A and B are shown apart, each in its own frame.
Chain A
Amino acid sequence: MPDLVLKGKAIKLGDNISTDDIIPGRFAHLRSNLSELAKHVLEDAMPGFASRVRTLSAVGAGKAILVAGKNLGLGSSREHAPVVIKMSGVGAILAKSAARIFFRNAVNQGVPVLLCDTDKISDGDELEIDVTGGKIANLTSGITLSCSKMPPIMSAILKEGGLIPYIQKHKGFNLEN
């Protein structure tokens, strides 16, 4: 189960970060070797991303939090995109909006994606995220942001740590939970 309250520092990206930015198609030969693939996460869009996440997570300030602008993850259906983001050590994703398939894939991987006005967050800000309550406290600026709600089935999947553990537990989809 993922942490449903987590603290960490923001790494800020711009608008329209595509799945080709997150993990380019030219690395498709590494897709069955996820730890190798993960070394290339966001390397064209933000050189040094992987090592920044490592540094941020190592200083004990919690997990790095990826903060993007609008339409995060547009493009391909490759679930490898949220997989490598998760493997790099990112604890949660915040964006103004997220492309449909990427959003669903990230939640299926147990990575919280919260949609809010990310203009109110600067690179390096310290954040405290309440995933269940959909609230983000920006400890650096003192501002609290609220996030748009996700359908209950997605919250339930997130609560179990992703789609596969959810299905193992419930043996199917259950719209009541």
Chain B
Amino acid sequence: MRVGKTLAEKILSLKSHSEAKAGDVVIADVDWAFVQDTTGPLTIRQFKESGFAALAKPQQTIIFLDHAAPSPAQQLSNDHILLRRFARETGCRIYEVGDGVCHQLVAENFANPGDIIVGADSHTVTAGALGAFATGMGSSDVAVALALGKTWFRVPESFLIELKGVFPRGVYAKDLILYLIGQIGVDGANYKALEFGGEALARMTMSQRLTIANMAVEAGAKVGLFPSDKITRDFLREHDRSDKYQPLYPDAEANYERVISVNLNQLEPMLSLPHAVDNVRPVAQAKGVKIQQAFIGTCTNGRLEDLAVAAEILKGQKRHPGTRLLIAPASRQVLIQAMKKGYIQSLLEAGATILPPGCAACLGLHQGVLGDGEVCLSTANRNFKGRMGNPEAMVYLASPATAAASAIRGEITDPREVMEGKS
């Protein structure tokens, strides 16, 4: 008897040339391997220490200079030199300062349904939106993947997240994933695959899927996988790789460890409170908390659709004088399109500071480090103590709409209040 496979089992079977079942350990072919500028230097040192000289797949190996971009410190500038030199020596691809966040660039340019992607960055899971088995690993594992073009995986058990309904006005993919993490807990899906399904997917844009897959790791998951469908096909066509499309669905009889059903119609704007991502509440419960900084960007919410939502809310408005408003487009492409559509103009007129495409303030290294006792409302994916560069500061996570509305009022605000009256 043939038992049905989950998406994770399907991809890992294909890439390990075996019948992979949850719990098995397999060796799988790696289609794309990448590092960024804070994990890359260690990866390269380990690669060289191991005695490896050549990359298994130079054209499928990518270096991104995005975390410290442009570099705020001489040591990081020297790390960039090391990474550029490695790219020249090995013939791998490299994306420069200002090109954008690694996960956004992987989605725009490389990830395809059924691919295996390993990145020395935990949010590599983002590409699961395109039906790629994409996961974060440490420097040693990526160094070995660069050299061998393979790695080992324990095939994860899967949770099915079944989505139905339509997002109400003012509620977005970010609110859904925060809600889910609140339900599952920061370690509730440790070692598991989150697989998304249900009738709501037919209306869920790639941008929304990327936001959701991006945060799968915040519930501990190894991957956050979407089936490859018409929306995937359209996205690939828009990005000049129609030929990479293949439909990919879990089998009907697939075995799920847990099924979680969510009716989108019942969701409301959500927040994650300091200092844990699963400390999730409706925005209404933290209304009125003063914020000194609002940050819209990152691999979670720095895409064109996110900037569109923020620009629509901020158009003709001004940020509160006590609140800095920082915007970092997720990639050069996003920035160019946002300029063409007039979003950047609206945001600048509202008092925003536009940061270069890249990680910007997300990891506490530069471009928006918080002061003691300050509060930031961020569209990023993490609010751990110290995350934005100061253990004495507080980070709340929310959607771009909530961040934009809160920037206007200078305090945490339900975006629906500000959107009222607007078309």
Contacts and interface: CB of A to CB of B under 8 A. Distances in A.
Interface of A: 16, 18, 20-21, 24-26, 28-33, 44-45, 70-71, 74-80, 82-83, 97, 99-101, 104-105, 108-109, 151-153, 162-164, 167-168, 172-173, 175
A28 B68 contact: yes
Nearest to A72: B187
Given A25-B389, A71-B187, A77-B137, A32 B75 contact: yes
A80 B138 CA distance: 9
Interface in B36-70: 38-39, 41-42, 46, 49-51, 67-68
Given A29-B68, A167-B147, 9 more contacts: A24-B386, A25-B363, A77-B136, A78-B38, A82-B138, A152-B25, A164-B50, A167-B144, A173-B148
A105 B138 contact: yes
B170 to A, nearest CB: 30
A71 B190 contact: yes
The 5 closest A-B pairs by CB, nearest first: A79-B138, A105-B138, A71-B187, A108-B140, A25-B363
B1 interface: no
Interface in B112-141: 119-122, 124, 136-141
Interface in B326-355: none
Contacts of A26: 364-365, 369, 386, 389-390
B150 A100 contact: no
A71 B75 contact: no
A172 B75 CA distance: 33
B384 A104 contact: no
Contact of B122 (A24, A71, A77, A162): A77
Contacts of A75: 122, 382, 384
15 contacts: A20-B386, A20-B387, A21-B385, A21-B386, A26-B364, A26-B386, A29-B73, A32-B79, A44-B391, A74-B187, A74-B220, A79-B39, A101-B137, A163-B141, A167-B50
Interface-centre pick from A26, A151, A173 (highest chain B CB count, 10 A)? A26
Interface in B140-168: 140-141, 143-144, 147-148, 150-152, 154
B39 A78 contact: yes
Nearest to B277: A74
B68 A25 contact: no
B341 to A, nearest CB: 32
B220 A25 contact: no
Nearest to B390: A26
Contacts of B147: 167
Given A33-B75, A71-B187, A162 B382 contact: no
B186 interface: yes
B319 interface: no
A79 B38 CA distance: 10
B386 A31 contact: no
B191 interface: yes
Given A77-B122, A163-B144, A99 B187 contact: yes
A21 B187 contact: no
A70 B42 contact: no
Interface string B1-37: 0000000000000000000000001010000000000
Contacts of A18: 384-385
B76 interface: yes
Nearest to B52: A167
B362 to A, nearest CB: 9
B78 interface: yes
B351 to A, nearest CB: 27
Interface string B280-311: 00000000000000000000000000000000
A74 B185 CA distance: 12
A59 B74 CA distance: 39
Interface in B187-234: 187, 190-191, 220, 222
A45 B186 CA distance: 18
